[in-house]
Chain A
């Protein structure tokens, strides 16, 4: 079961951290194989940001996403650049407010979840920064690629000390939203 996940947005949105947490949940708490890679360089310091996670129940050969089964787009630039690389039928989460120009034709082939993620995060925790964790909650809730307990543990491991509770609140809000989104 090789599953490829693409996270993309711009620097400062926590794209990389979200990918690390997902990989960690799979590798450490689900005993699955997982690889996380990211684009480095100036783009990861303010410009475009991109990370990939490949999860599998057998050793992972090629470590990069070939055609993502899942994708998260936090910015217009990321959406425009990478939307067309995802697999047909992929589940895609879009930060609605930051991606005003969409491709409705292409989206027909996908399962798209478009929400004002930053706004919801701000309402839930008072911190728009927790948007990435909120999104992870939605992602895990919808896809069930890893268990909720695993992702909670991975969030605890990875976020800065003292911010665990606020991040878990965002994560659980994501789970809650996922319940409503499920078919």
Chain B
């Protein structure tokens, strides 16, 4: 297959562009979107590439329509993505919940900018973490990934598609305006170097009849996509294993939502990914995600030069969250610092994880600039 960009070599491209190329290599063939800073370049790259790979790129009337269209595309059998930023992500919450409830594999990218409301369109922020996790109404479970470099943005986009397909779930990628527009060296692999996952399809009539069942015991039902004669009925109402609406029986709702939680939390170890830097002998831990991690790595180096035993835990997955891992960390360090570009979001998760075993301090920064390494160093050394 011919690709509309060079593969098997390095390139120097923006985070937004890396997402588009990764999506295409991951098998995404449907993109619907609505222009918004700083995610428009993802759409523009998709608009350029999709027709060339016989895929669809379409500009919808709004972000509600965009996420609706990709859910439709997913049920019609293809991998689909949309991308946006804060204001559009707020509009997508309705159908993000629909995707959770109907167990539709989709990838939703949010390149975060300063908010609330229109806020700071061109400046990075990390203020949508809680929204990504809890933004839609009702009890729900999904996966949220958070890259810190353009290379990671590329790799996590492929991972996002694989996780979405494997667990029949929406996956959110949280980037930010800095990562969106930053150009960096990225290795774009050959397609045969990439592991690509496609959803389980029903193996037989029985499985096809239970699009929301659990025939394999892993909580992930095979997906009887449209147009194959399965006659699948999909609804956002509480439904039983066959998909029939059953809205007044508590046990039907408990079973459905319980399984949606279980299929993610039961595979938490496989889903959660993180990296550590100088953490083994650390007395001071810094826990970060996204772009701030890069300031934190430098801060750790600077602190070590000053004789402070600092180390970093960088989270590539922010939901599901490994509270246990944070507690273990809290048991062995004196203090945990959480630098983030908001008024305190990851901080609350870390504090819950630390469970009082170590002091946790927020290093908050808002307004549109990434923490400088020195700002983190100064807070640690006082």
Contacts and interface: CB of A to CB of B under 8 A. Distances in A.
A32 B11 CA distance: 11
Contact of A27 (B121, B122, B185, B301): B185
B239 interface: no
Interface string B117-137: 000011100000000000000
A28 B12 contact: yes
Interface residues of A, number: 22
A51 to B, nearest CB: 10
B185 A66 contact: no
A169 B301 CA distance: 43
Contacts of A40: 37-38, 122-123, 177, 181
Nearest to A20: B183
B190 interface: no
B372 A66 contact: yes
Contacts of A62: 294-295, 297-298, 372-373
Interface string B1-22: 0000000011110000000000
Contacts of B298: 61-62
Nearest to A39: B122
B182 to A, nearest CB: 5
Contacts, number: 71
A63 B294 contact: yes
A41 B123 CA distance: 9
B240 interface: no
Given A28-B10, A62-B294, A66-B373, A35 B177 contact: no
Contacts of B177: 40
What size tier do the contact residues of chain B reach? 20 to 34
Interface string B33-46: 00001100000000
A33 B298 CA distance: 16
A40 B123 CA distance: 8
A36 B10 contact: no
Contacts of B10: 27-28, 31
A50 interface: no
B71 interface: no
B370 interface: yes
A39 to B, nearest CB: 8
A59 B148 CA distance: 12
B178 A27 contact: no
Nearest to B373: A62
Contact of B184 (A27, A31, A38, A64): A27
A13 to B, nearest CB: 19
8 contacts: A24-B183, A28-B12, A34-B12, A35-B183, A37-B178, A61-B298, A63-B184, A64-B370
Interface of A: 20, 23-24, 27-28, 31-38, 40-41, 59-64, 66
